[in-house]
Structures are given as structure tokens and as C-alpha cells.
Structure 1
Amino acid sequence: NEQGADTDSDIYISIIGTNANSTRKALRSIDPSMNAFERNQVDICMIYTNVKFDETENSIQGIEVMNDGQWVGS
């Protein structure tokens, strides 16, 4: 609920695995009518990766989220 707690910057995610990492993917809302990443809003995004993650061979160790910094305060 913080004032200015939104962004118009592009947001990206990378998934870090034990043996391989995904490429950087842009996050987009599954609802194209929504302006994603606005204050007081829940956004649902779906990503497809170039790497298989599972519990035995390549478990998820972390997630890296970044923005392109294109907008002030982003």
C-alpha cells in the first residue's frame, strides 16, 4: 500500500537451478487488459523456460527478479 509502489518498467525473472538456470524471461500479466505491477493489485504471470526443473536433477535454488530501470522510482 505504499505510495509509488508500482512500476511501468519491464520486469524480468530468471530461475536458478542446481545444474542449470533459465534464460531471462519478461513477466507479463495473463490478463492483457491489465496494466501489470500497479499498487494494490495482484498480478498472475505464467512463464515457460528453456530448462527443466524437478526435485531430483535440477531443483530450484532461487529466483532472480530484475527491472529495466526505464522509469523514475522503478
Structure 2
Amino acid sequence: MIGVLTSGQIDPLTIMSWKTLRGIMVGSRDDFEAMNRMLEVHRLEPVIDEVFGFDSALDAYRKLEAAQHVGKIVIRID
């Protein structure tokens, strides 16, 4: 896993030997804070499909992998 959020260099040789490269885009900290304010003002909450205990994390992953969920899958760490 290689992560670069604000700046930095990635050596291409590190990721070229039969590796899969997947990227994601993330917003800035200001975007994150604006999103959280909007969620609070409009009282929006995520849809939770199912909550698993930590001891059932493998079951949660299997459900996610099988795309059998509508909403978020939560693993509770108590």
C-alpha cells in the first residue's frame, strides 16, 4: 500500500512487478470539514445494513465481497 495525500514521490519500480495499482481520490481537509458540517446541519446519517462484532469480521468481509448489502457494513470493536 502506497499513500500520498499532499505531496511526495513514488518510485515506479516499486510498483511494476506484477502488481495491481488502484488509486482513489480524496478531498482536502477543508472539503472534509465542510462535508461534516453539512451532515450535521441536515442531520444526515449513513444507511447501515448490518453491524458485526469484531469476532465476526470475516463474515462481514464475506458479505461485502459478495455484494449482499445495501448501505454500510459496520464492524464494532468493543
Q: Same fold (TM over 0.5)?
A: no
Taking structure 1 as the reference length, the TM-score comes to 0.26
Taking structure 2 as the reference length, the TM-score comes to 0.25
User: Which has the bigger relative contact order, CA under 8 A and spacing at least 6?
Assistant: 1
Which structure: greater helix fraction?
A: 2
Which structure: greater strand fraction?
A: 1
